[in-house]
Chain A
Amino acid sequence: MSRGDSATPLGRVRGLGSAHHGGEHWLTERVTSIALLFLGSWLIASLLLLPKLDQRTLIEWLHAPSGAIPMALLIVVGFRHALDGLKVVIDDYVHEPGNNFVLNLLMLFLAVGGGAIALFALARIAFGSVA
C-alpha cells in the first residue's frame, strides 16, 4: 500500500528518520484512525438499530455480509491501530533497546493472536448455519 513518499526532504536526503521509517508509521496510524471513525460509529449504530440484542439476532446480523464485512474490517484495522498506538507509547517510555524490542514483539504477537481469534470467531458465525 503506497500513500506517497512520507519522508521529509532532509529525511529523504539522509535516507532515515529516527525510526528509519517513522513517516510510514505516522501516516498509517492516522489513516487507520479515520477508518475506525467510521467502523466504530458503524458498530455502535448497528447495535442501537438491532431490534433485540439476544444471541440469535446478533448471529443473524453477523451472518449477513452487511454485518460480517464491516466487522472483519473493524477487527483488522482495530488491532492494527492498537499495535501502532502502543508502539508510540512503548517507544516514548521504554528506551533500553532490549526491553523496547521485547515489549514491541510481545505487542505484535498479542495483536496478531487476538486478531486471529476474533476473525476465527467471526468466520464461524459468518460461514456457519444460523442457529
Chain B
Amino acid sequence: MVVSILHRATGVALSFAGLAILTWWLFALSSGPDVYATFTKAAASPLGRVVLIGITWSFFQHLLSGIRHLVMDTGAAFELGVNKTFAILTIVGSLLLTAALWFYILGGAK
C-alpha cells in the first residue's frame, strides 16, 4: 500500500522535477560557461543538493517498485508474506542505493 503510493508520488516527482532538471542541465550545458555556472551554483546550494538527492532517491524507489509491479503483472508475488517482503526491500534498496551514490559523490572518492 505505502510502496504503491510511493511509486505514484516518485513517478510524479520524476516527471516534473526530474525531467525539468534534466532539460535545464542539458540546456545550460549547451549554452556556454556563464549559463552553466548558474546551473552548477544552484545544484551545489543546500536546496539544490536536497532536490538532487530527492530526485536520486525517487529514481531508485520508482525503479525498484517498478520492477516489483512488473513481477506482479505476471501474476507472481501476490502471497501476503512475499508481497510485503518485496515491498520493504524496495524501500531498503532505494535508501541504500541513494546513500551509496551520494557518499561516493560527496565523500572521499573524488
Q: Quick check: is B88 within 8 A (CB to CB) of the other chain?
A: no
What are the residues of chain A within 8 A of B59 when measuring CB–CB?
Answer: 40, 44
Q: Are B36 and A89 in contact (CB-based, < 8 A)?
A: no
Quick one: which of B27, B63, B66 contacts A118, CB cutoff 8 A?
A: B27
Asked whether A33 and B70 contact (CB < 8 A) given A55-B36, A78-B22, the answer is yes
Q: Are B29 and A59 in contact (CB-based, < 8 A)?
A: yes
Report the bound CA distance from A114 to B19 in whole Å: 8
Report the bound CA distance from A59 to B35 in whole Å: 14
Q: Are A79 and B19 in contact (CB-based, < 8 A)?
A: yes
Q: Quick check: is A7 within 8 A (CB to CB) of the other chain?
A: no
Q: Are A82 and B14 in contact (CB-based, < 8 A)?
A: yes
Q: Quick check: is B8 within 8 A (CB to CB) of the other chain?
A: yes
Interface size grouping (class) on chain B? 20 to 34
Q: Are B104 and A117 in contact (CB-based, < 8 A)?
A: no
Render A64-105 as a binary contact track against B, CB cut-off 8 A, 1 for contact: 000000010001001100100110010000000000000000
Q: Are A128 and B30 in contact (CB-based, < 8 A)?
A: yes
Q: Quick check: is B15 within 8 A (CB to CB) of the other chain?
A: yes
Q: Quick check: is A48 within 8 A (CB to CB) of the other chain?
A: yes
What are the residues of chain B within 8 A of A120 when measuring CB–CB?
Answer: 27
Report the bound CA distance from A85 to B19 in whole Å: 13
Q: Are A82 and B70 in contact (CB-based, < 8 A)?
A: no
Render A24-44 as a binary contact track against B, CB cut-off 8 A, 1 for contact: 000000100110010010001
Q: Quick check: is B92 within 8 A (CB to CB) of the other chain?
A: no
Render B1-26 as a binary contact track against A, CB cut-off 8 A, 1 for contact: 00000001001101100011011001
Q: Are A40 and B63 in contact (CB-based, < 8 A)?
A: yes
Q: Are A114 and B26 in contact (CB-based, < 8 A)?
A: no
Q: Quick check: is B33 within 8 A (CB to CB) of the other chain?
A: yes
Report the bound CA distance from A128 to B26 in whole Å: 14
Asked whether A121 and B11 contact (CB < 8 A) given A34-B70, A78-B19, A82-B19, the answer is no
Q: Quick check: is B99 within 8 A (CB to CB) of the other chain?
A: no
11 contacts between A and B (CB under 8 A): A30-B70, A33-B70, A48-B104, A62-B29, A78-B19, A82-B14, A85-B11, A86-B15, A118-B19, A121-B30, A121-B31
